[in-house]
Structure 1
Amino acid sequence: MTRQILFARAKRFVRHLFQHKAISIKRFNMPGVNPGYYVLAGVGGYILTSIFFLKCPIIYKKKRLLFKCSHISHRGGAAEKLENTCNAYRNAMECGTQMLELDVHLTADKVVVVSHDNHLLRTTGEDVHIKDTKYEDLPLLSKELGVTFHYHTTCHHEGNALQIEKLEDVFQEFPNTPIHLDVKIYDEELIQETNNLIRKFNREEITPWGNFSNKVTSKLYKTNPNIPLVFSMKRVALTVLTFYLGLLPFLPIKESCFAVIMPNIARKAFNPSMTESCGIRALFAVIDFLLMSNVLFTHLKDRGINVYLWVLNDEEDFKRAYKKLGVTGVMTDFPSKLNDWLKEHPQYRSDD
């Protein structure tokens, strides 16, 4: 009997079932058995099936990434050298980092530059926007910059003031180093120019890119689906929701890197006045409880997805991330401190 005939018969049966109500659940009931037991059995079967595929994710083909990095330098290691500069990247490489994390914007003359902020007041002291300024007219970086994720910490630079880096120069100096790119805004020219540079330097397989915004990540994926994609905030929330509903093992995942904040770092990273209220503390505790799941992270890793936590700057957070949560890697502002910790715990360091 052909598949088409079987499908046609099944279709007729379902139509008959719903249109004429000729089949009642009572006809399938065993004498004395409550119909609720069938519902309970169905729910139990769903839960067991979900748990099985959560532990053994064999429905979809496992991703095969060319990078698996345990040591990642956030903005190049913003607490040790000025953020997003080649000075920082060189220091990070000397400290054994395996991946650089950086941010990109586009100048008025279409140069892709490395900067977290489009408005340069924080990093240069000048009221200038990158998108409105030609590269040659960009101000020099300040010699002292506060570290965003480590309250009361300032990075000092000795020597001549530094220019904002071009992404092309970074690719040129670090041709084989995986780089995690945050495309900071939705700008089709920025996305296209960044893609052109990635392809020019043959970096498609070692340069994951992403953004908080799902609009941006959707455009990134549409522009070049061969570049590993980082989860947007919306996709993170959807992934967590489907995980707790038991649906995640049955859903395809286009992204390759699950990079999220460890919520409990807020008390260390930001001004205490921002996190001292009971309501804020409770909110962070709930988010931490839901998001920081070893079971979720293990499932994602078993599907070939790298799991990164940011931005961790203390040994107790390193320990929790690697030992308790089992993440692939950690982003830090202190590459030397993370390197020292990994030397003491080499089992958590991935091969270069």
Structure 2
Amino acid sequence: MPYSNRSIDMNDFFTPPPRALGHRGNSRDFPENTEIAFRSAIEMGIDVVETDVRLMKDGQVLISHDPDFYRLSGDNRPISSLCISDLEAIDTGYLFSKDGGHSHPFRNKGVKPLLLKDAFQLFPETRFNIDLKDPSESLAMATARIIIDEGAENRVCVASFHHKVLKSFRKSLPSAASSLSRREMVLSLLLYRTGWVPSDVKNKRIKAVQIPEYAGPYRILRPSFFKWCRRNHLALQVWTINDAEKMKELYQEGVDGLFSDIPEDVIRVSRKMIEKPEY
């Protein structure tokens, strides 16, 4: 049965502004990128579920960060070689442990890989930040088709390190929000002081900047970059922050949203910062 989280008046992905973004759902307490991880984060009140997708051999779009399930289940077959009939044999909770491998609370509990279309159907009011992991334009087009079929254009923001893949997605579904690709991000950091703006920011296909706080020793989050994002109506979202004090500092600086593996903390801090700025 589909699960509906708290009702939201959502005109697009950024209305109301997403402050707390759950990295792969509640990936601290549950096997990442699974229905139970998503459900836990949503029940806590997360604003956005962040997830990752890859293309299967039969054209299905599967939720997974890694190119295989070896880290989660011990199965090293590439996702690109799998068909939907192969998923039943994969236990994505098999290796999950919170105590260094002494116990495996979700082993043999029926935790299975999740298709993107099923996630949309299970959580019909949830916003998803979707990272296209494969360097394949076929993944971009397949993801766009699913978003259209599920009527989810207003509740997704799509990201990818792969510039061509993200450009292909934007061409396939120009109404959906996306973030800067890695190439666009590097160029922006090098050139933003000159007033340079990526073309897809100008045409409003790019709505977000999703970045770490640091790139090596270089701190990306500088006042001038904040101003550039504001001037171009870009939401500035930072990943992946798991320390509550650091969350507080970044919200105080003016970051719009934070990705975290600990949804309970990012929800609590974001709400306190909004309701009680002196926190």
TM range (shorter): 0.7 to 0.9
Among residues 195, 217, 222, which one is paired with 1:247 in the alignment?
195
Residue 192 of structure 1: aligned partner:
141
Residue 4 of structure 2: aligned partner:
none
Amino acid in structure 2 at the alignment position of 1:284: G
Cα distance in 1 for partners of 2:21, 2:276 equals 13
Alpha-carbon deviation of 1:146?
Answer: 7.0
Give the secondary structure class of the aligned counterpart of 1:292: coil
CA contact (8 A) 2:30 2:96 kept: no
Residue 339 of structure 1: aligned partner:
267
Alpha-carbon deviation of 1:65?
Answer: 4.5
CA contact (8 A) 2:161 2:182 kept: yes
Alpha-carbon deviation of 1:259?
Answer: 0.3
TM-score by length of 1: 0.67
Cα distance in 2 for partners of 1:251, 1:183 equals 21
CA contact (8 A) 1:143 1:161 kept: no
Cα distance in 2 for partners of 1:154, 1:208 equals 38
CA contact (8 A) 1:100 1:177 kept: yes
Cα distance in 2 for partners of 1:113, 1:201 equals 15
More strand by share: 2
CA contact (8 A) 2:51 2:128 kept: yes
CA contact (8 A) 1:81 1:155 kept: no
CA contact (8 A) 1:230 1:255 kept: yes
Residue 176 of structure 1: aligned partner:
125
Instruction: Call closer, same or farther: CA 1:217–1:169 in 2, change over 3 Å.
Output: same
Matched, 1:258 2:209: yes
Alpha-carbon deviation of 1:154?
Answer: 10
Q: How does 1:35-50 map to 2 (within 5 A)?
A: none
Residue 278 of structure 1: aligned partner:
none
Alpha-carbon deviation of 1:311?
Answer: 0.3
Alpha-carbon deviation of 1:131?
Answer: 0.8
Q: How does 1:158-169 map to 2 (within 5 A)?
A: 158=106, 160-169=109-118
Cα distance in 1 for partners of 2:131, 2:164 equals 14
Amino acid in structure 1 at the alignment position of 2:260: T
Residue 245 of structure 2: aligned partner:
316
What's the Cα RMSD here? 2.7
Matched, 1:292 2:200: no
Alpha-carbon deviation of 1:345?
Answer: 2.7
Q: Which digits, 9 at most, give the CA deviation of each residue in 1:42-80, with x for residues without a partner?
A: xxxxxxxxxxxxxxxxxxxxx994452000000012112
Larger Rg: 1 or 2? Answer: 1
Amino acid in structure 1 at the alignment position of 2:224: V
Cα distance in 1 for partners of 2:269, 2:103 equals 21
Cα distance in 2 for partners of 1:305, 1:169 equals 30
Instruction: Call closer, same or farther: CA 1:348–1:202 in 2, change over 3 Å.
Output: farther
Cα distance in 1 for partners of 2:206, 2:130 equals 14
Cα distance in 2 for partners of 1:339, 1:154 equals 30
TM-score by length of 2: 0.83
Cα distance in 2 for partners of 1:128, 1:136 equals 14
Q: Which digits, 9 at most, give the CA deviation of each residue in 1:146-175, with x for residues without a partner?
A: 79xxxx799954360411001111100222
CA contact (8 A) 1:180 1:209 kept: yes
Give the secondary structure class of the aligned counterpart of 1:248: coil
Q: Which digits, 9 at most, give the CA deviation of each residue in 1:163-221, with x for residues without a partner?
A: 10011111002222211010111223322221111011211122111211212112112
Structure 1: 5+ residue runs without aligned partners?
1-62, 264-282
Cα distance in 1 for partners of 2:216, 2:196 equals 24
Cα distance in 1 for partners of 2:183, 2:134 equals 16
Structure 2: 5+ residue runs without aligned partners?
1-11
Identity %: 23
